[in-house]
Every structure is written in structure tokens, then in C-alpha cells.
Structure 1
Amino acid sequence: MTETDIQPYGPQAYDSRHIPQQSPQIRQHAGLLCMRLPWGNTLEVAPLTFIEDDSPTELREKEEEERRNPGSYARKQKKFHNACDHICYRQAHASIWSHMWAYMWGIGRFLFWLVLILSTIGSLITATLINEEGIWEEVIREYKTFIIPWLLAPTLLSWIIGHIAIHRLPSYWIFTPSKGPVWELNRQTGMVTVFARKPGQFKEQGYDGDFIRPFHEFDAYVHVLPTRQGMPLYSLHLVHRYQPVAIDFMPLIGRQSSDKNSLALWDMWQNYMDISKPLPDIPVLEEFRHLDPTTAEHDRRTGRNPRYWRDMDDRTFKAAILAMQDRINQLDALSRPNLMAQYCQYVDR
């Protein structure tokens, strides 16, 4: 793609300098365990997964694959209903089969080692405490008749099958597309889309198909979910201010023991959607920066190296990750004033 592919922003593209007045909020649609995050005063941050998952080596391999097979990246995105470029970020879940192989590999491996370690420790403690003649023969018999065939063998088999499926079989056999995308944030149009996964899903909201509304009508909330031990886990939700429709970003960054990654993701989404600012400077978006008008002008003015991430060496990449982590740790977004409150009236719980 070249500069001739640059497309102008749509009339409703989000511009933090020109936010329209909006209707007052009537009802709060976020859960009781949610904290609303303020708009504005963002920093140039992104969750580490948006940095670590696209190393310079992987970027160059992807670039070489595209050179050898032009259009492969676009075809793959279309097949899997995903997108991540200067136009939009569209997310789709993996298919049920893809999840199954991943669970067999990950959970099988975890349970195998867990059972092996606990059963071995338990057997040693039992034999030591009882200390009777023939106890070791009894422990070995228990291992042979119960632990190995009913606990170790099934988990080991699950681990092996999952490993073979993910790492040895052709990826197009294992990683299959889902039925369609789940949500999309579109920088060029300024719209957020929550895709209807079943007929009439948003009928009560007055939509026959997908739910599509401007970005400035959504608020970000940190959802706090306590574990069984009472420890809080945090994830980010984007909730429509006027309708009970929301996006859960947990599949992107998971649930974290700290709220910092949720705060960083909210800053990143605001920067991504705001056409008055350049695209977030993260590896996955670098190849599209020259196609976004604001970003292209910013990079021309600042003299940014267009291959900053792609030509980076491993040591510099690790330093960039640590620098981003430091910026994330210093985030204090909850104390910021909510700039969106100037354009709409919120309701308290």
C-alpha cells in the first residue's frame, strides 16, 4: 500500500477537540463492581501484550511472507474476521475447535504436573507418617492401579494430543475461523460496532442488525472480579452510555491482578480513535502509519524512522518493553478529571 491509498476521515470521526453535546444519561448500565474511567489527558501507552506479541523478528518475518505472497495478510484477516490497521481494529474469537486444542494442550500440561507433584508428595508423606512394613508396596500399588491410569495417563494424553495439534499439524487444520467478528472500533468513521451474533440480538435497542454508535457515546469501566480467595482481578469494559450494550476486552489482555493494564488500554483506545492524534506507536500498526493522514503528517514533522520497530535489535526491543512497563506503572488515570462531563450529564448509581 502507498500514500495513494490514504482515505479521508468520515464526518463522524472522533476528534477530542470537537466533541458534540450529547443527551443526558438516564440509567447506569455498568455493573456494581465497575469503576468508570475518565476521558481525556491520555498518555502514549499500550498494554504490554500489544508490544511483546509483535517482536521485530516477527514483524520482519511477516513482511517477508507478504513480499513472497502479496495479499496474504489481508486474506488471513478476512478469513478470520479480524483487522488491525489504520482504519479499524476488529476482533473475533477463535472457533470452538481452536479453543478445544488449546485447552487440551494447556490444561492437560498443567494438570499432569500438578497431579504428578501432589501425588508424589502425598505418597512420600503418607509412607513416612505410617512407617509400617509393606507401606511402600502399598504406595506403589496405589500408583499403578489408580493414579497412573485414572489421573496421570488422561492428562498426559490430553497434553500430547494438544501439543501435536498446535505445534505439528498444519495451522489451517487447527486454527479455524469463527462465525464472525464480535466488535470493531473504526478510526476513520468514529464508530463502534458490536456485531449481532444472533438474529434480533439488539431488537430492544431499536437495531435490526449490528449495534453501531459513535465512540464518544461509550464510557470505559474497569470491572473488578474477586477470586475465591478475595483477591481482585481487573478487566476493561466499554459500555454504551444510553443502551445496555458493552464490549468486554478481557480476551485481549485477560484479567489482571492490577488495574494498570486496563488503564493503559483505555488510553490506547482513546489515542487510536482520536483523529487529532497520531496512531499509537506500537509494532503492529507501524506498517500503516503512512496511510493515516494525521499520523503521516506527525511522522513527517518529527522525522520518525518509518522502520523504527521493524529494524530494532533484540536488546533495544527489551528496553522498549521495560520503558513501556514503567509508563504503565506510573498511570494515575482514576484521578484525572472526566473531560466528557463537559458534553453530557452523567447519573450516579
Structure 2
Amino acid sequence: MTDPNTENDYYGPQAYRSDQIPTVTRKVNDLARPWFNRKFDMKLPWGGAENVVPSVLRQRYTPEELRKSEANPTPFGDVKSHQQIDQERYCHSTAALRTRLLVLLSFFGHPYLMATLAPPTLIAFLFHWYHTPSNTSFLATTWNFIPVAAMFYSPLLACWAIPTLLLKYFPNFWIKPFKGPKWELNRRTGLVTQFIYDKKGHWGQTGKPEERVAPFYEFDAYLTNEMIPPGQVVHTLYIAHRHEDILLPIGNLIGKTSGPECFALWDMFQNFMDTGRPLPDIPLWEEFRPLDPVSAEHDRATGRPARYWRDMDDDTWKQKNEEFGYRVLKLNTITRPNQMRRKVKYERRSRRTA
């Protein structure tokens, strides 16, 4: 366990503090973003971050799921993921292609999807029964309808059975991590790392990914806009370096979603990287709070229970989850002043004239 008295030695010289951001004299060139994104994406402000968490992460890291993880920390045996989340880093990785294909296949065999076909299948059966001769028994009518029902349900049952059997009897082959991490935000060092896997580059020659590294405060967060049928606008979040070709699609953690959900993700990571304040007080990082000097000192001073989230009952969590959701909807991200403008020379956009 980290000794809180060694706080100055624990964090690196480039660790991020929202109240001690160094002034950057270098002009922003926005090398990492294509012209389309430079023209249409919205830059999000630095500072004013609230203790919020997106709904996807609230659903994934509930108190119940954390207790299950404590009881069974290695659900897939000796299969090790490159993703690592602790008091020092949020290191993101994905599963291998074969595993992702298997997960996609299992989606089409989900019981909920089968249940959605029940009403149209019932209507089709009643239509079939109505046009069956009156002297035909109900059993015979049902038997004759089975091939029609099989046409709907056989593919879905196959999508359920194939992944289930493969994962049960051949887990070591199908459950595989990606070749390595994709990106990392490191609270302790204050650095952001993007891992590049180029067969013709450094990775192809050495077997190790190329690492593009820069301090967290040299990035800006952007909100994308995309219209999907039937005319709904969705958003995602990414951070891009102001000078180097480094772009991290951190919004992949929550997918294409609403603006407030993206704002919540940006606030969450600002709070995580800020060594001037404790780790975000959310279930995801609770078990690591004693290992972070600032968080440990804060919890001692405030008397925060070490297992506040993990020992929470379902009814209380439901209430807290709703409170989180309300705070996310009320985020004032768009109207916040950008505290980074006092430290960085951004280009002024010329206004269009008629």
C-alpha cells in the first residue's frame, strides 16, 4: 500500500493538477484531426468537472458486479486481458477479432431478441389457423406451422447455441485478448499513451507497439455529431493532441450516445487524472482508493467507509444510480469557461459574413 506521506515522490513531474497547469507557448496546429473534424466537431472546455459517470459504466460496474468480481477475480482462468484499471492508470484494450465475432453472433441469439419475434409469430400462426380447413385438428394445424416457425427461430437458436458451446468446450481458443493495449491515461505520471500496431512499422519489426506519449494537459476533448435514421443525432467523444498526431477515441467506452453522456465521460477522466483531488468517488475505482495518496488522505480526513459502494444494497444503489443520471442530464459543460484558454494560445476562428 502506498504511503500517503510520500505523495510528492509518488506522482511524476508531469502529473496533471487542474490548479497547476503550465503555460504552453507553442501554437496549436491540430495535426491529429482531419479537416472535417476541425470544421464541425465541438471542443469541450477544461475545468469545472463534476463527480459523474456515464450510464454505460454505471451499468457495467454496479456494486453487485464488483462483489462478483471480488469472489471470482479470474472468471476466464489464465486468460489475461491487456486492459488494466487501477489507481494509476486506465489502460484500454479490446478482445481479439475472433472473440468479438463470437460476441456479435451471440447478440442475435439473445433471449430478448427471440421474445420480440413472439408477437409476429403468434399473428402468423393465427393467420395460418384462420385459413386452415375447419375439419383440420388444432394439433395438425400446429404441426403444419412448425416449419414456418423454424424459419424464424432456427437462425436465432443457432446464434445462441454456437457461442455457448464454443465457450464452454473451447474457451482457451475463443477467449483471446487483443494483441496489446490501445491507449492509456496514467494518473501517476500524467501521461497519455497511444499504442500503434503497424505491420510495416515498429510493431512489425520488433513485435512491440509504437508508443506515442504526451502529457494529459496537451490534449483537448471534442464532441462529434452524427445523424442516424430516423433523423436522430448521436455523439461520441475523443481527445486529440494539439501539436502531435495523437488521437484517442475514448468515447468507444460508451459508444454513440447523447451529449450529456459524453460530457460525463470527459468529466470523469478529468477527475481521474487530477492529482490535486481524490479519485472519482464511483464504484469503478473504490477498491483502489487506499493505494492513491491523495485519495487515502481524503478518505481518512472525511471518514469515508472503505466499502461504501461495494457493500451497498440494491435498493440504495438504484437510488444513487438515478441521482447520477440526474446530475449527468444537468451538466453545464457547454456553458463552462474553458480554463485552458489562460494557458494555451488557440487560433481564433473567423466569423462567416453574409
Offset of residue 186 of structure 1: 0.3
Is 1:251 aligned to residue 252 of structure 2?
yes
The answer for the alignment partner of 2:92 in structure 1 is 91
Number of residue pairs the alignment of both structures matches: 331
Unmatched tracts of structure 2, length 5 or more: 204-208
What pairs with 1:13-32 in structure 2 (closer than 5 Å)?
Answer: 13-22=15-24, 23-27=26-30, 29=33, 31=37, 32=39
What are the Cα deviations for residues 153-205 of structure 1, in whole angstroms up to 9, with x where unaligned?
Answer: 23331222234445x457545421110110000001111001012156699xx
The 5 Å alignment of 1:27-42 reads: 27=30, 29=33, 31=37, 32-42=39-49
- Calculate the TM-score normalised by the size of structure 2: 0.80
What amino acid is the match of 1:93? T
- 1:132 and 1:308 map into 2 onto residues whose CA distance is 63
Tell me the equivalent position of 1:220: 221
Partner of 1:304: 304
Q: Distance in 2 between matches of 1:218 and 1:63?
A: 35
**Partner Cα distance (2:144, 2:218) in 1:** 62
d(CA) in 1 for partners of 2:153 and 2:57?
37
Tell me the residue number matched to 2:178: 178
User: Aligned in 2, Cα 1:27/1:102: closer, same or farther, shift over 3 Å?
Assistant: closer
Instruction: Tell me the equivalent position of 2:206.
Output: none
* Structure 2 counterparts to residues 263-342 of structure 1, below 5 A: 263-342=263-342
| CA distance, structure 1, for counterparts of residue 143 and residue 270 of structure 2 | 62
Cα deviation for residue 59 of structure 1 reads: 2.3
- Pair 1:202–1:18, CA change in 2 (3 A): farther
Identical positions, percent: 34
Gaps of 5+ in 1: 67-71
Of 180-189 and 44-53, deviating more is: 44-53
Determine the C-alpha separation between the residues in 1 that align with 2:2 and 2:293. Answer: 12
Deviation at 1:115, TM superposition (A): 6.3
Kept after mapping to 2: 8 A contact 1:116/1:152: no
Q: Which amino acid aligns with 1:41?
A: G
- How far residue 97 of structure 1 moved from its aligned partner, in angstroms, is 1.6
Report deviation, 1:141: 12
Q: 1:82 to 1:132 in 2, by over 3 A?
A: closer
Residue of structure 2 equivalent to 1:11: 13
Confirm or deny: 8 A CA contact 2:87 2:292 kept in the other structure.
yes
Question: Quick one: distance in 2 between partners of 1:278 and 1:79?
Answer: 29
Distance across 2 between alignment mates of 1:190 and 1:26: 22
Take 2:106 and 2:157, find their aligned partners in 1: how far apart are those partners?
Answer: 9
Superposition deviation, residue 344 in structure 1: 0.9
1:129-168 map, 5 Å: 152-165=153-166, 168=168
Contact 1:192 1:215 in 2 (8 A): yes
Change (3 A) 1:307 1:116: closer
After superposition, the CA RMSD in angstroms is: 3.4
Cα–Cα, structure 1 residues 124 and 149, in superposed 2: closer, same or farther, change >3 Å?
A: closer
CA positional deviation for 1:317: 1.3
Corresponding letter in the other structure for 1:21: T
Which residue does 1:55 correspond to in 2? 62
Q: Is the 8 A contact 2:82 2:177 kept in 1?
A: yes
Task: String of CA shifts for 1:273-320, please: whole Å, max 9, x gaps.
Answer: 011011001112111111111111111111111111122111111111
Question: Are the counterparts in 2 of residues 278 and 294 from structure 1 also a CA contact under 8 Å?
Answer: yes
Conserved? CA contact 2:223–2:235, under 8 Å: yes
**What is the match of residue 193 of structure 2?**
193
Alpha-carbon distance change, 273 to 101 in structure 1, aligned in 2, over 3 angstroms: same
Q: Give the equivalent residue in structure 2 for 1:69.
A: none
Shift of 1:345: 1.6
The 8 Å contact of residues 199 and 209 in structure 1, kept in 2 or not, is answered as no
Alpha-carbon distance in structure 2 between the residues aligned to 1:149 and 1:62: 39
8 Å Cα contact 1:236/1:250 also seen in 2: yes
User: Secondary structure of the equivalent of 2:236?
Assistant: strand
Q: Are 2:2 and 2:292, in contact at CA under 8 Å, matched by a contact in 1?
A: no
Q: 3-state DSSP class of the match of 2:10?
A: coil
